[in-house]
Amino acid sequence: MHADLEQVLYHESTIFARLDELGREITRHYRDAGGELAVLAILDGGLIFTADLIRRVNMPLQLQTLSVSSYHGGTASSGTVGFPGVALPDVSGKHVLLLDDILDSGRTLAAVKRRLVEEGMPASVRACVLLEKRKRRAVDVQAEHVGFEIGDDFVVGYGLDYRGRYRNLPVIGTLRQECIHPGDR
Ligand code: IMP
Ligand code: MG
């Protein structure tokens, strides 16, 4: 799988060092906020990031998940965000921290935030993403905690997929052109 990478952007040790910092940042914020912390992981992309990050958050929390998708196989956002038959977890009165792999067009985060606020009655909603693409978003939304800012390249690894593959790569990198279907290039 490593052989399919054009360039490694972040090695595992770099990712872990940044997670240590994010864990401390998040712990500090929510200790001061008081009340219950509910971590809501956005699946599937946020799975690996969530597992590693919450073990660096040093306070009681509850873990819940939400399956959301805005990509349908290729390398560009589809424009629609789906919650296929998914019920929201109970977040009433809780401080919700959304965790996702990457903030790209912003549609996913905006849709989840909107539904949480409209239906969930949380005490607060913040977001933490491992990666943020440095570009103009289709939707105006921000993540309060960001691991790394990247350019507009399509990346895989550490939870991020291309057509369902590469999530188990321990590093984050760009794919070689020949590994991308001609229609997606
Ligand atoms: P958004 O709704 O456009 O912000 O996209 C968020 C979702 O699109 C992420 O949770 C990813 O699943 C996917 N995504 C966006 N950019 C990339 C990328 O570079 N590689 C892999 N998946 C991506
Ligand atoms: Mg994805």
68-102 pLDDT, tens digit each: 876 555 676 666 666 756 788 999 999 999 999 99
Task: For ligand 1, say whether the CB of 106 is within 6 Å of any of its atoms.
Answer: yes
pTM of the model: 0.94
Q: Tell me, what's the pLDDT at 86?
A: 75
Q: Tell me, what's the pLDDT at 80?
A: 66
Are 99 and 66 in contact by the 8 Å Cβ rule? The answer is no
What does the angle CA 155 – CA 159 – CA 163 come to, to the nearest 5 degrees?
65
Best residue among 9, 77, 166 to mutate for probing ligand 1, ranked by most atoms within 8 Å of CB: 77
Query: What's the whole-number mean pLDDT along residues 41-51?
Result: 96
Q: Tell me, what's the pLDDT at 143?
A: 97
Best residue among 48, 104, 128, 150 to mutate for probing ligand 1, ranked by most atoms within 8 Å of CB: 104
Query: What's the whole-number mean pLDDT along residues 44-69?
Result: 95
C-alpha dihedral (117, 120, 122, 125), degrees to nearest 10:
-50
Confidence of residue 136 (pLDDT cuts 50, 70, 90): confident
Catalytic annotation, residues: 104
Q: Is the pLDDT score of 145 beyond 90? A: yes
> For residue 37, what is the DSSP state?
E
Instruction: Please give the distance, rounded to the nearest whole angstrom, from the Cα atom of residue 33 to the centre of ligand 2.
Output: 31
Q: Is the pLDDT score of 43 beyond 90? A: yes
Q: Tell me, what's the pLDDT at 11?
A: 98
Q: Tell me, what's the pLDDT at 87?
A: 84
Q: In what order do the strands lie in the sheet with 95-103?
A: 62-67, 37-43, 95-103, 124-133, 145-150
Q: Tell me, what's the pLDDT at 82?
A: 62
Among protein residues, the one with the nearest Cα to ligand 1's atom 9 is: 102
Query: What's the whole-number mean pLDDT along residues 99-107?
Result: 95
